[in-house]
Structure 1
Amino acid sequence: MSEDIKDIVSSAPKVLELLYKDLAQPGIKAIGQALGTVLEFSTSLLLPIKLLNEKFKLNFAKRLNEYKTKLEAIPEDKRCEVHPQIGLPIIEKLTYTTCDEIADLFTSLLASASSIDTANTAHPAFISMIERMSPDEARILEYLKDKEDIQYCDINAYLKEGSGFVCLYEHVTVLDVDIPLTYPQNTNAYLANFVSLGILRDKKGIFRTDKTQYNRIREKYKVEELTKEYVPTKFNSIDVDESYYQVTPFGRLFIQACIK
């Protein structure tokens, strides 16, 4: 090991010195206080050695600055030291996370762990949950921060012979209208992932009495036009089954901790 690397490893608790020239700035001091123990333990993760790589260093500095902005929004008397169980894996992720939407979830979770008012919401399981998300899913989480559900419809065409039906559209929503998704065709996969993570619960068979969202779905998928075109020439009827995904208590906690 070169002398330069030995020196950096020996000064691992002073990781901030590798990133900032003026450690006396209030924001930098706040980071040091909140992440003091985390940065000390980061020696085992060889964070100082990683920061010898300029790309790692620039990316990590960017993420730390984003965290600093959120930390400064917390009143000074409400700040607390981040527990290493939460802080260490997040710091590790921030060294290589280049996607802004995913990094924002990590830095928001770290900020939640930095406040005595919200530290209880920063569950360790949330770290691996963020890892299993795409940028589009991060945008859906942002959409859900002030909502309790996502309403959907199944649009079925009933056959003229027998009692069977053809599902024309399954679990369709207007999320791609309300959210700028990069891959709107993956919406159902995103929602299925949220169900698997425990963020949403599929309430199939139960519907909301407010028809606003359901009517928007009907209009988007042109149910009235389909009925005029294919009933009764091809199908007996085209029916719309209304239901919704409900945000679970665990999902609400996750959103509170990771969305600012």
Structure 2
Amino acid sequence: MDLKAVKEAVGSLGKIPDNIYNDLFQPATKKAGKALETVLDLSNTILLPIKLLNLLADSKISVFEHNIRKYEENLKNIQPESLTEVRPELGLPIIDKLTYTTNEYLSDLFINLLTSGSKIETQGFAHPSFVTLITNLSVDEAQILHFLSNVILNKRDNTIPCIWYELEDNATKGIMPLSSPKTGLEEELDLLFPESMTFYLQNLEIQGILLFHPREMVDKEEIYTNLEEQYNHEFEEALDVVRSAKGCNNTPICEKGYYQLTDFGKKFIAVAVNKKMQQYI
């Protein structure tokens, strides 16, 4: 790879040891060289040479090196005729993220997106806005997307059934929520903050990945029954508090609905989460 432009960007900061570039962007790695050539030529715009110097000084260069190695491994699965240069508007912010992103779930999203941008067949779906989308995700949300992609591939299903509890005022017919939607995912996944599942689903909806269908059921009565059994104790506890209030005249209701992966979400998962999903875009 031609590293002249990158080295010149350092200017008066001093000489970057040749082995840094030789180790990270080996000429022998022809695929990575071809895909990232333009991105690295413009790397001074994100101060990459300066950041590499700082990482080297702080002995933290291994984070970037590890992420680049994973990208190179991904490229091995791309045929030479399908390889293309990554667009700078996609590659530059991702390369920047890879200098400090240590969590494997999140770094994999960036690396997979960069890989998709390196392939002719998927480059058009590797939208630059996906970089910001990944930045807006937590580690737990990235794990949820991995789980959802596997459910789609194994069960051909892109929905997440949910239930929630409400109270209907018998006099006014007004509705008072007793709980947020419950999916049971916090029991299936090893999340850092399982108590934040409601917020995670809301954020995935805000990002355009999921769409909430309230009071609509999918054909999974058994799952809804299991959810009712799973959360019944929480419902009863909340209901006891309400019943203890004077003048209570409410009817408890268990509502059902589901979250569904959007077409936008499918494209994002296909290019950033699980490449096996590319059959659906």
Q: Same fold (TM over 0.5)?
A: yes
In structure 1, the residue matched to 2:145 is 141
Instruction: After TM superposition, give the deviation of residue 161 of structure 1 in Å.
Output: 7.2
Alpha-carbon distance, 1:188 to partner = 0.8
In structure 2, the residue matched to 1:185 is 195
Instruction: Show the counterpart of 2:261.
Output: 247
Distance verdict in 2 for CA 1:89–1:240, change over 3 Å = same
Match of 1:88 among 86, 89, 92: 92
Count of residue pairs brought into register by the alignment: 250
How far residue 256 of structure 1 moved from its aligned partner, in angstroms, is 0.8
Amino acid of the structure 2 residue aligned with 1:19: L
Q: Tell me if structure 1 keeps the 8 A contact 2:10–2:50.
A: no
Structure 1 38/49 Cα, relative in aligned 2: closer, same or farther at 3 Å? same
Gaps of 5+ in 1: none
1:137 maps to a residue whose letter is: E
Please state how far the C-alpha of 1:76 moved relative to its aligned partner: 2.5
How far apart are the structure 1 equivalents of 2:12 and 2:213? 59
Q: Report which stretch shifted further, 45-54 or 112-121.
A: 45-54
Instruction: Please list the CA deviations of residues 174-200 of structure 1 after superposition, one character each: whole Å capped at 9, or x if unmatched.
Output: 111222111111111111111111111
Letter in 1 for 2:47: L
Change (3 A) 1:180 1:2: closer
The change in CA–CA distance for 1:16 and 1:77 in structure 2 (over 3 A counts) is farther
Q: Residues 188 and 83 from structure 1, CA distance in 2 versus in 1: closer, same or farther, beyond 3 angstroms?
A: same
- Aligned amino acid, residue 182 of structure 1: L
CA distance in 1, matches of 2:11, 2:220: 69
Shift of 1:132: 0.6
Provide the C-alpha distance between the structure 2 equivalents of 1:69 and 1:201, rounded to a whole number of angstroms: 34
TM-score, structure 2 length as denominator? 0.78
Which whole-Å deviations, capped at 9, do the CAs of 1:129-182 have from their partners, x for residues lacking one? 100110000001112212412221112345677645653322111111222111
* 1:154 matched residue in structure 2: 164
TM-score, length-scaled by structure 1: 0.84
**2:45 aligns to what?**
44
- After TM superposition, give the deviation of residue 249 of structure 1 in Å: 1.1
Indicate the SS of the match to 1:96: coil
State the Cα RMSD in Å: 3.0
Matched position secondary structure for 2:218: coil
Equivalent residue runs for 1:18-33 within 5 Å: 19=24, 23-24=27-28, 28-33=29-34
Tell whether the 8 Å contact from 1:15 to 1:48 is kept in structure 2 after alignment.
Answer: no
Pairing 1:105–2:109 present = yes
| Structure 1 match to 2:6 | none
Between the aligned partners of 2:10 and 2:21, the Cα distance in structure 1 is 21
Asked if 1:61 is matched to 2:65, the reply is: yes
1:251 is displaced (CA, Å) by 1.2
Q: Match of 1:216?
A: 226
Change (3 A) 1:2 1:197: closer
1:132 aligns with 2:136: yes
Greater Cα shift, 163-172 or 90-99: 163-172
SS in 2 for 1:82: coil
> Partner residue of 1:17?
22
